[in-house]
Amino acid sequence: MALAITLLAGCASDAPEETAARIVPAPSATAFAVEARIVATEDPLQCVAYARQAGAVFLRGDAWTWWDQAAGLYERSGIPRIGATMVFRKRGRSLGHLAVVTRVIGERLIVADHANWLNQGQIHQDTPIIDVSPANDWSAVRVWYTPGGHWGGRIYPVYGFIHPTRLAES
């Protein structure tokens, strides 16, 4: 898959501090029939450009700004649905991150596609993401570390999900 999209915004450039010491078990191989993989691209991609191409939410600017930009334009919630764009919060020097939900496995487990997660401009497909928030509200997640085949060690804060449903204009 060759994508020629201009770099538009930075994503997850610094790993945010871990906010809790919660240990989450790896999902069983039978929990979902996907295989996380990383796909090299001809040109490096940022998460914003990829989310616009792979999803159905058409906003611009740094990833962390999408949550506020979507207010009044798109439905937003703390509940994942296929096609929704998950918006990671800005932390430190990072500019947030975006991932497009491709499967909902359960209340606390989804699979998503996203780009530039490890700052190499590659596409990460079929990546498990698990809700580790104490309130079960998707405000904190762990992302599958595909090269190692295990859950990443950090917990990332999340705003929520922007759904591709456009709101009626008043």
pLDDT in tens, 33-62: 468 999 999 999 999 999 999 999 999 999
Cα gap 99→1, rounded to integer Å: 18
The pLDDT of residue 20 is 41
Percent of the chain with pLDDT over 70: 79
What residue spans define the domains of the chain? 37-166
Which CATH number is 37-166's, of 2.40.30.30, 3.60.15.10, 3.30.70.240, 3.90.1720.10?
A: 3.90.1720.10
Q: Tell me the average pLDDT across 19-36.
A: 53
The pLDDT of residue 69 is 98
The pLDDT of residue 29 is 42
Cα gap 166→99, rounded to integer Å: 18
Residue type present at position 22: R
The pLDDT of residue 94 is 86
Nearest one of 63, 165, 42 to 114, comparing CA atoms: 63
The pLDDT of residue 115 is 97
Q: Confidence band (pLDDT; 50, 70, 90) for 168?
A: confident
Q: Tell me the average pLDDT across 106-114.
A: 96
Mean model confidence pLDDT for the chain: 85
Q: Tell me the average pLDDT across 139-147.
A: 96
Nearest one of 91, 17, 92, 12 to 51, comparing CA atoms: 12
The pLDDT of residue 11 is 57
Q: Confidence band (pLDDT; 50, 70, 90) for 26?
A: low
